[in-house]
Amino acid sequence: MDIAESASMRRSYQLSYILFVCLFCCLYGSAQVTEHLTGKEIETALSSPPNSGFVNIADMSFGTPSSCRAQMPSESIFTPEGWLNVQNVLAKKQFITYKPSDDDTARVLRIISKGCASGSLAGPVCDTITRVVLLADKHSTDAVEAFNQKAFDQQWQNGFGASASCGSLISEFLMDDVRKIQKPDGSFVIATFSGAQLLKMYVVKQKYVKKLGL
């Protein structure tokens, strides 16, 4: 039975990323970062329209949608301001006044990486992401590593009770490191790994860079 039939697995990608961020707000603590957003930048981020400083890039290459029907592999990218913005939106939905912590205001690029998830006769099948790096392009040999990463598990189950657990990843990159690998038009590449295996490469095109304001 195809686990895509489950209602919980038919959620939109936009809703998925919001739920993930909500989870991270409770579980995730950043490593110490010396550079933070200014008070004016924080105020601007909180007053910006929803989804400011955020883009979601899904792998829509040939065959992927049909083979990853439960969850598409994707990258949700947040600027420092975008991270504050989405948490503020979440707080408002709960009628809570959001007060950013020091970790929230760190001047870092945050990337939430999710792998492919689908179903088979034997049960759910999904990819676990263990490492994310940034490259100038798909042929580059110089990679920028995240200075901080946090794994989180996702549970999948089909109608017969068969289940599987796979790991997604949230990665933090220093903004100065991001700028080092950006091409003249601002574009760069996100590469995801499961152990030593390269899973996917995503091109953060100029149009996404412009929307993020990088």
Residue 181: CB partners within 8 Å, gap ≥ 6? 134, 135, 136, 140, 142, 144, 188
What is the chain's length?
A: 214
pLDDT at residue 72, as a whole number: 85
Beta bridge partners of residue 172, listed in sequence order: 110, 148
Supply the pLDDT for residue 116: 86
Q: Helix 13-27 and helix 80-93: axis angle, to 10°?
A: 90
User: What's the pLDDT score for residue 158?
Assistant: 64
pTM of the model: 0.79
pLDDT score recorded for residue 29: 47
Any alpha helices (H) in 74-174, and if so which ranges?
Answer: 80-93
pLDDT < 50 stretches in the chain = 1-15, 17, 19, 22, 25-31
